[in-house]
Structure 1
Amino acid sequence: MLKKNYPYYLANRPVTSKDTMDVLDKYSGKVATRVAVPDAKAAEKAIAAAVKATAPMRAFKPWARQAVLQHCVERFSKRRDELAEALCIEAGKPIKDAAGEVTRLIETFRIAAEESVRINGETLNLELAGRLDGYHGYTKRVPLGPVSFITPFNFPLNLVAHKVAPAIAAGCPFVLKPSEKTPIGALIIGEILAETDLPRGAFSILTLDGRHATPLVEDERLKLLSFTGGQIGWDLKARAGHKKVTLELGGNAACIVDADQAAKLDHVVQRLIFGAFYQSGQSCIGVQRIYAHADIYEALKRKLVAATKKLKAGDPKDKSVFLGPMIDEAAAERLHGWILEAKKAGGKILCGGKRKGNMLDATLMENVPTDATANRKEAFGPFALLAPFRNFDEAVAMVNDSDYGLQAGIFTDSLTHAMRAWDELEQGGVVVNDIPSFRVDNMPYGGVKLSGLGREGVRYAIEDMTELRLMVMRQG
């Protein structure tokens, strides 16, 4: 059960406040719990505490960082059901999917625990000419210092984990602002971190609104800003000054289904359905554009529509429900408007297309114009469009006809097509024989174009949160 009230965390310690913010049950719309709201000075206090913790965190040995991360793994495992329930309520995520995200939270911290003791440098051969005899080079990675994180609502556990766990492994104090819509998971993580021996000021988790989060973006004492969210990230980058910036800004992921998949369509459909409608499509790499070879297009369409119509929608606490609510009514109304706009422009609704509050039907469309908003922008909801292609060159061009480039998928038995997709698709990642929604927490993850810059995945985030330091030694 959720607590009645949750504190925020300032310099490792819980803080209550007379000012509170309601957190809604996204299915019922009722208040589920309340969280303390920091005052206007909290961000400044948190940054000052992180600066003060910089030296102690650098001195905090790798084995000690590993112990903190292992403690989190153990405590998350013991509180698995509580975390899943909180996620189900605050995000509206079906309970089976919520349990899956808790598993990924645990795995991400476990991976970070392993990486924390293998942040290595290298020995450089500098004796490249006679005049350099006796010179040797060595590198090591050192923590950047204080860093800031801003995370979205759709994966309020694992996207927080992908910033917090690497920061601890790297030895960087951090200030985190979770989404106001889904803060509970981050605050439970804070509660568990507060049980550890992290130096005072090593972490703050502030339930700030956008107005009071400005210092997390602009304060020059912070050495890195890592933001996951929408296109506002580019504005944040422009305001971030000299600090490093990592952005993950979503996409309108495409999936190619090649002509040789005729005998495998049932499997392909199963994966496409998951990718398009998992957690109501509110995933940065959710399947939005499906391009199928003309030879199999009609058969794939028929199977996709039939499978989509069978999806059960409703209360996400029901284990049999696949499709829960979108995060709020405004989000559902936005996407529903795009669907109606596409229909008016000549698109055909194959199934779905109706909305009640923040519950939007799983919707498939075809004949959607290439310039329609539902094609060009990130749907971030239970929507996918279908279109046929005649040859592989056309399919590649269709995928690349996008302002985004996070991940793409391709189902094919052709090694040539798989390698060409890897070579030619303008994406941060290409997934062969699965959906673009596939992600493992140790792989490099990030995009190109409007999808952002930089890469997450624990080891790659650690690299971003550390910098190389060179030592040159002359022998003799």
Structure 2
Amino acid sequence: MTGEVKEYRLLLASKPVEADREFLDVTNKYTGEVGAKVQLATHDDVDKAIDAAVAAAPAMAALGAFERKAILEKTVAELKKRAEEIAQILTMESGKPIKDARGEVSRTIDTFQVAAEESVRIYGEHMPLDISARNKGLQGIVKKFPIGPVSMVSPWNFPLNLVAHKVAPALAVGCPFVLKPASRTPLSALILGDILSRIEELPKGAFSVLPVSRADADMFTVDERFKLLTFTGSGPVGWDMKARAGKKKVVMELGGNAPCIVDDYVPDLDYTIQRLINGGFYQGGQSCIHMQRLYVHERLYDEVKAEFLAQVKKLKVGNPFEDDTFIGPMISEKDATRVEDWAKEAVEKGGKLLCGGSRKGAVMQPTVLEDVPMDAMARKEEIFGPVVLLYKYSDFKEAVKECNNTHYGLQSGIFTKDLNKAFYAFEHMEVGGVILNDSPALRVDSQPYGGLKDSGIQREGVKYAMEDMLETKVLVMRNVGVL
């Protein structure tokens, strides 16, 4: 990412805007240098984008299933063709290690492929309605229709795949949309928009990708021309948006404070530690399902602690463009400073620092803390950094209870060979997903994904996101087929 700084145009009503606009600097998160410049949309741009989406809604709804599938398959083909280019840009704009960026592109391809397949499986039903004598001769047909224009607000930590989890379902059902990518990482969303702008089957004005200022972003929440708001990001911002969203449907995927219980080695110690390392430090912990709390049975505790720390200390930290780097910079030095401060506060309140705890610029060292008390910020809130809190337990039910001792509820993990314990956790953990024999950081892009409590409402995952973008109608018929 050297040489001339490239300028990216916003996409308004499916086309790049050539007129003069203010530009936003997008920095290389490792070097701090300006890596690209992006046009900022104006309030008028947002208004025109919504008008275009409303105008395009009938044409989008009229697309045949085969046409929606073709649009999505062409997107898949272009993503495959441009995969390495996009991965390099992802690493520059987000700071994530290049191997993680390549993984995100691969996941994005999966997401669009699943959407292509689901686009031809939007089923209705026939239902008998003659449930009593007074309803004799009645029957019904139930069919689902696209909800209309969708407002999308996406985060910076997965700036391509979390955009895909909004865009792909919308295309699969036939909804026009206006997308606001995160200001820190808008490039990969604009590249996706560029791909879509070249697909002839997509109706004119069907989408816009608009990096906007904070003042103009309010339209994505309050404008009543949108029929659905889908948001991924921090809890305080998300719940505030929901409160102001008016009558529109809202889907939110918010933060977490994910726990994991190790009750057995499954299948063995080495594999268990490998998955715990991945869950705790993948992408520098900047994921809402980052394994923040690790509870280990007392009979395993000393061995797990020793091996976990040994592997953490081997993780390569630094330049995200190097293939063997595991932890790159955080999204900003300010965020790294906050994580460092929370680690220090945890120790001041009685926790024990086992490794890490410091930073250099935006790069935070992988950190493990032991027995951090409940009143520390690192325990009660979402740390969103490369920090794992380690605890010992003796009773499985109490461990599950402690996992639930948070206002979040996104995902949890459990390693056990006991099927009864697995189902006890599934039934009693207050989360949207329980991951058996892996860390809570696992997500498959076709699964229902979302949380309870302050972690959000509704579910993402292509098929499940599509359901929120569809309205159900029933045609009630009397004496049809009676001669």
TM-score bracket for this pair, using the shorter chain length: over 0.9
Task: Write the distance in 2 (CA, Å) between the matches of 1:135 and 1:40.
Answer: 51
Show the counterpart of 1:125: 128
Show the counterpart of 2:8: 6
1:299-448 mapped onto 2 (5 Å cutoff): 299-448=303-452
Show the counterpart of 1:55: 58
The alpha-carbon deviation at position 464 of structure 1 amounts to 0.2
Q: Which amino acid aligns with 2:285?
A: G
SS of corresponding position for 1:288: strand
SS of corresponding position for 2:441: coil
Which of 242, 251, 262 is the equivalent residue of 1:257?
Answer: 262
The alpha-carbon deviation at position 74 of structure 1 amounts to 0.3
**Does residue 333 of structure 2 align to residue 292 of structure 1?**
no
SS of corresponding position for 1:284: coil
Task: Write the distance in 2 (CA, Å) between the matches of 1:316 and 1:262.
Answer: 31
Which of 236, 240, 248 is the equivalent residue of 1:235?
Answer: 240
Show the counterpart of 2:140: 137
Q: Deviations over 1:243-299 (max 9, x none)?
A: 0001111101000000x3297222111101111111111011010000001111111
Task: Write the distance in 2 (CA, Å) between the matches of 1:213 and 1:202.
Answer: 19
- How many equivalent pairs are there? 475
**Does residue 219 of structure 2 align to residue 215 of structure 1?**
yes
Show the counterpart of 1:224: 228
Q: Deviations over 1:190-221 (max 9, x none)?
A: 00000112111210000112211111100111
The alpha-carbon deviation at position 363 of structure 1 amounts to 0.2
SS of corresponding position for 1:175: strand
Show the counterpart of 1:474: 478
Q: Which amino acid aligns with 2:8?
A: Y
Q: Deviations over 1:115-136 (max 9, x none)?
A: 1111110111112223322211
**Does residue 117 of structure 2 align to residue 104 of structure 1?**
no
SS of corresponding position for 2:73: helix
Unaligned 5+ runs, structure 1: none
Task: Write the distance in 1 (CA, Å) between the matches of 2:177 and 2:211.
Answer: 14
Task: Write the distance in 2 (CA, Å) between the matches of 1:470 and 1:158.
Answer: 34
Contact persistence 2:260–2:414 (CA under 8 A): yes
Contact persistence 1:262–1:296 (CA under 8 A): no
Show the counterpart of 1:66: 69
Task: Write the distance in 2 (CA, Å) between the matches of 1:210 and 1:253.
Answer: 30
Task: Write the distance in 2 (CA, Å) between the matches of 1:198 and 1:8.
Answer: 18
1:26-175 mapped onto 2 (5 Å cutoff): 26-175=29-178
Task: Write the distance in 1 (CA, Å) between the matches of 2:45 and 2:335.
Answer: 30
Report runs of 4+ in structure 1 exceeding 6 Å deviation: none
Task: Write the distance in 2 (CA, Å) between the matches of 1:147 and 1:263.
Answer: 44
SS of corresponding position for 1:365: strand
Identical counterparts, % of pairs: 52
RMSD: 1.1
Task: Write the distance in 1 (CA, Å) between the matches of 2:269 and 2:424.
Answer: 22
Task: Write the distance in 2 (CA, Å) between the matches of 1:459 and 1:112.
Answer: 7
Q: Which amino acid aligns with 1:246?
A: V
Unaligned 5+ runs, structure 2: none
**Does residue 205 of structure 2 align to residue 181 of structure 1?**
no
Q: TM-score, normalised by structure 1?
A: 0.98
Q: TM-score, normalised by structure 2?
A: 0.97
The alpha-carbon deviation at position 358 of structure 1 amounts to 0.5
Q: Deviations over 1:85-129 (max 9, x none)?
A: 010111111111110100001010000001111111011111222
Contact persistence 2:340–2:364 (CA under 8 A): yes
Distance 1:433 1:144, change over 3 A: same
